[in-house]
Amino acid sequence: MNTQLDLKEMERKAFRATYQDGLWDLYFGLIVVCMSIFVYRPASGYSPLNIVLALCAFGVAFGLFWAGKKFITLPRMGQVRFGAKREKRKRTMIIALSVVVLIQSLLFVLQLIAWANPGLGERINGLIRDRNVMDLVVASVGALIVGPSMILVAYFRDFPRGYFIAAMIALAVFLMIYLNQPVYPIFISMLIALPGLVLFVRFLRNYPLHREEALHEQK
Q: Does 218 bind another protein (CB under 8 A)?
A: yes
CB atoms within 10 A of CB 58: 16
The smaller minimum CB distance to another protein, of residues 8 and 131, is found at 8
Show the site string, 29-68: x = touches another protein by CB under 8 A, - = not: ----------------------------------------
The contacts of residue 19 (CB under 8 Å, 6+ apart) are 159, 161
What is the residue-wise DSSP string for 132-173? HHHHHHHHHHHHHHHHHHHHHHHHHTT-THHHHHHHHHHHHH
Q: Number of residues in contact with another protein, rule: CB under 8 A? A: 26
Distances (CA, A) of 39 to 42, 47, 162, 163, 182: 9, 10, 23, 23, 9
CA dihedral 15, 7, 97, 195 (to 10 degrees): -40
Ramachandran region, residue 7 (left: φ > 0; alpha: ψ -120 to 50; beta: rest): alpha
With CB under 8 A as the contact rule, the residue among 2, 44, 79, 132 that binds another protein is: 79
The smaller minimum CB distance to another protein, of residues 89 and 191, is found at 89
With CB under 8 A as the contact rule, the residue among 88, 90, 91, 210 that binds another protein is: 210
With CB under 8 A as the contact rule, the residue among 45, 48, 83, 126 that binds another protein is: 83
Q: Does 88 bind another protein (CB under 8 A)?
A: no
Stretch that binds another protein, among 49-57, 88-96, 143-151, 211-219 (CB under 8 A): 211-219
Q: Does 1 bind another protein (CB under 8 A)?
A: no
Q: What's the rounded Cα separation, in Å, for the pair 165 and 160?
A: 9
Q: Does 72 bind another protein (CB under 8 A)?
A: no
State phi, psi for 179 to the nearest 5 degrees: -95, -15
In whole angstroms, how close is the CB of 96 to another protein at the nearest point?
Answer: 23
Chain residues that interact with another protein, rule: CB under 8 A? 5, 7-8, 10-11, 14, 17, 74-84, 207, 210, 212-214, 216-218
